[in-house]
A and B are shown apart, each in its own frame.
Chain A
Amino acid sequence: MRAYLTTIIESGTESYDLEIVEAASGFEALKTLPHHKFDAILTDINMPDINGLELVSFLKNHPVYRSIPIMVISTESTEEDRRRAAALGAEEYLVKPFQAGDLVEKLRRLLRVA
């Protein structure tokens, strides 16, 4: 089902030729980091292993990864956590459930592409 998110992004950003790497947990996310040069990271807050805030905190304190823009995707019930993510340095957030168009729009902004 993760692939569904990928599908939305792919269909909305076809012309940019994005490569999307999926990770099912916080650990998986950490493990993929050294293998790619990411232009943007999208993360949930409620995840197994390490949560989204911990991931954001790590990335934003890392000498190499701190410059990668981050979008936190989460639900209304985690409003407070979203505020915390912003305090940790996450650039963008999106509330679930969302429209495909919103996601693509925010992603474009994040990537600074017109």
Chain B
Amino acid sequence: MAREDDRARDEFTSEAEELLDTLSRDLVDFESQGQNVRPELVNKIFREVHSLKGLAGMLGFTEISELSHSLEDMLDRLRMGRIAITRDLIDLLYDSVDSLNRLVIAINDPSLGALVDMTGLTSRIHHIITSQPARVHDDPFAELTLDEQTKKSLTEYEEHRLLENVRAAKHILVLEVTFDFSDFDERLRALTASLSESGEVISTLPAIPTGNVNGIAFRLLYGSTLDAAAVQVLAPDAAVTSLRKSEPGAAAPAALPAPTEIVEEEMSLRSLSQTVRVDIAKLDHVMNIVGELIIQKTQLEALTRASADRTSVQQGRMTSHELGKVARNLDRKLNELQKSVIEIRMVPVGQIYSKLSRTVRKVARELGKEIELVLRGEDTELDKMMVEELTDPLMHIIRNALDHGIEPPDERRRAGKSPVGRVTLNAYQQGNSVVLDVTDDGRGINPENVKRVAVQRGLIGEKDIVDQQRAYELLFTPGFSTAATVSEISGRGVGLDVVKKNLQELKGTIDVISRVGEGTTFRISLPITLAIIQALIVEAGGEKFAIPLTSVEESLRIYSRDIRTVERREVFTLRDFTLPLLRLADAFDLDDDHDHGPDTKWFVVVTRAGEKTVGILVNALVRQQEVVIKSIGERLKTVPGVAGATEIGESEIILVVDVGSLIDHFGGRARETRARAAHV
């Protein structure tokens, strides 16, 4: 029974999260549509809250059920036109969805439950419900000739919509259509969609058709700006009748009161569920591949049996040839399988966009800044786990942009900019990486200001030179941002160093591109998936290592005599560029007796992590292959330069190099060399 409860709880959590996600997106639409919000949208929001209440109620999640109940009550009045759309109401809806999110998360982590102010929310809802005078409920049927059956089948809500359409001087029409039973749903949906463009389908009443025994009839009650003749053109197969007894009058909209401020605690925006919803077609594809793998296995078995009888050399060759063929087929199928499984793990990054826009809205309100958030590339796909892990760092960067990047409206006006700040989030795929750009059109990063703060914090001395590149590095240095300087918005003393560390754990990088006075872009680059990567297998100090191919720019052969020393640092001139070198054997403290004078051959693997390029010096390049990265456990997690371990055939286990942390840890001075080289 306990297990069944667990299952029900998991199912509820996942379903509730999905509902709340849709709900937040609908709220954004709701707010943007202002006073002219489409009634269908209000009704949809009502239905979503209604569903959540039902689910929570049945499973005994009392707080969720009670809060959604109050909300449902308020939304019911809203859709019935008994209360008006006000700033308070919109804010309350956002806050309620936030709280419902928290409550859902609290199901699995009860310590979070206390963060929700149930009494406060309930009393705000109550206030909205009671503070607005109830409107007089007119009889919508007075001006219409509507048959009894249709009249009786209207819900209270539909009756209200009908009344609103009568008041708004719309044409009230009935369309009678008959469809074949086999595809009535598709055809009716298509008709409803086309009708909705110039009006509102108020009710859809199924009926028994006259004549067509295999069919089903529908009576659509339709309020529209178009008259019967125009609608007849839209729906040529329908019988269209007007219900109005006389010509319609006009109606006026209500005004929007001033906004109120609500400050709330922050919490992680990460969703809770570890589940991925998968298109069944993707699973079918996997199933097919597995079927083909089984065929290969059968062939292999047949070959094994046959080879036992083959004794001559020629027959042996034949067996070897056939085995080779099976191995190639297996390889191809396994590749396909791998690709399909990766695809299944992929979700669009757009999934977190609605959460982000909600927070941006709130933060902007708290800062008294006007922000336009532009979201692009929401269909870009990324591994589900990455998307989850990405939410917090991304939010941190966006908050930074709002807080430090975007200037207050007055300052923007003085600088000749629009008072409304713009933050753009753009996601796109680049090779095997997904790039997320957070761009603001704010004041940009001034190296002078960064230097002043860094000197204050004791990170650098007065005399140190801080150019753009150095300034960006300082931003990510632990201790640069502290609770004292960071306003409440940018986080509780958590600096960009933590963001960088989080991203490094995802094998990602972060870079800054900024122009003083024009704005800043934080560029996050992540591998599409963590599970399987293409790697270059190299040898150094008698050991093999795997270097992820996403970090490799090129590889070349050099001789010991090509290695120069600049400021006690080994470098190599690659075309017109001074490339700092890093001996892999040294990085892992391995004895290396490879060097036998100026003619010794080496291989340089030119690697790149973000904007930094370093040549990793190895003894040999072994091959390129796909590897599955496995964690090497908590205790070794902190060892720099190691991303994990992998098995490369015949039980040989090797380390996978984490280029980003390798460069950061062992190539610290390399950056200076490179910066200088770039300036020459």
Contacts and interface: CB of A to CB of B under 8 A. Distances in A.
B261 to A, nearest CB: 31
B493 interface: no
Contacts of B57: 96-97
B76 interface: yes
Nearest to A73: B54
B207 interface: yes
A53 B15 contact: no
Given A1-B15, A57-B149, A81-B155, A75 B72 contact: yes
Given A88-B153, A97-B65, A75 B50 contact: yes
B185 A49 contact: yes
B571 to A, nearest CB: 63
B206 A30 contact: yes
B73 A4 contact: no
B92 to A, nearest CB: 18
Contacts of A45: 155
Nearest to B150: A57
A77 B155 contact: no
Main secondary structure of the interface of B (DSSP, over half): helix
A33 B55 CA distance: 26
B152 A57 contact: yes
A17 interface: no
Contacts of A53: 153-155
B207 A1 contact: no
B204 interface: yes
B156 interface: yes
Contacts of A58: 205-208
Interface in B8-55: 8, 11-12, 15, 46-47, 50, 53-55
A62 B662 CA distance: 75
A46 B50 contact: yes
B72 A77 contact: yes
B636 interface: no
Nearest to B153: A57
A70 to B, nearest CB: 13
Interface in A17-69: 26-28, 30-31, 34, 45-46, 48-51, 53-58, 61-63
Contacts of B72: 75, 77
A80 interface: yes
Interface in A87-113: 87-88, 96-98
A56 B206 CA distance: 10
A81 B158 CA distance: 10
A58 B153 CA distance: 9
B113 to A, nearest CB: 20
A77 B47 contact: no
Contact of B12 (A1, A46, A54, A81): A1
B203 interface: yes
A63 B208 contact: yes
Nearest to A3: B11
A30 B188 CA distance: 13
B156 A78 contact: yes
Contacts of A28: 185
A72 to B, nearest CB: 11
A3 B626 CA distance: 42
Nearest to A79: B156
Given A1-B12, A4-B8, A75 B205 contact: no
A4 B58 contact: yes
B433 to A, nearest CB: 37
B153 A30 contact: no
B275 to A, nearest CB: 13
Given A49-B185, A58-B207, A97-B65, A75 B53 contact: yes
Contacts of B154: 53, 84
Interface string B191-234: 00000000000011111100000001000000000000000000
Nearest to B188: A27
Contacts of A77: 50, 72-73, 76
Contacts of B53: 75, 96
Interface string B71-90: 01100100000000000000
B58 A61 contact: no
Given A46-B47, A50-B206, A96 B58 contact: yes
B181 interface: yes
Nearest to B181: A34
B58 A54 contact: no
B74 to A, nearest CB: 10
| Top-10 shortest CB links A-B | A97-B57, A57-B153, A58-B206, A27-B185, A80-B156, A81-B155, A50-B204, A54-B205, A1-B15, A77-B76
16 contacts: A27-B184, A27-B185, A30-B216, A48-B47, A49-B185, A51-B158, A54-B203, A55-B206, A61-B208, A77-B72, A81-B155, A81-B156, A84-B156, A88-B153, A97-B58, A98-B58
Given A26-B204, A49-B204, 17 more contacts: A1-B15, A1-B55, A31-B181, A45-B155, A46-B46, A50-B205, A53-B153, A54-B203, A54-B205, A57-B152, A58-B208, A75-B54, A77-B73, A78-B155, A80-B156, A84-B155, A88-B152
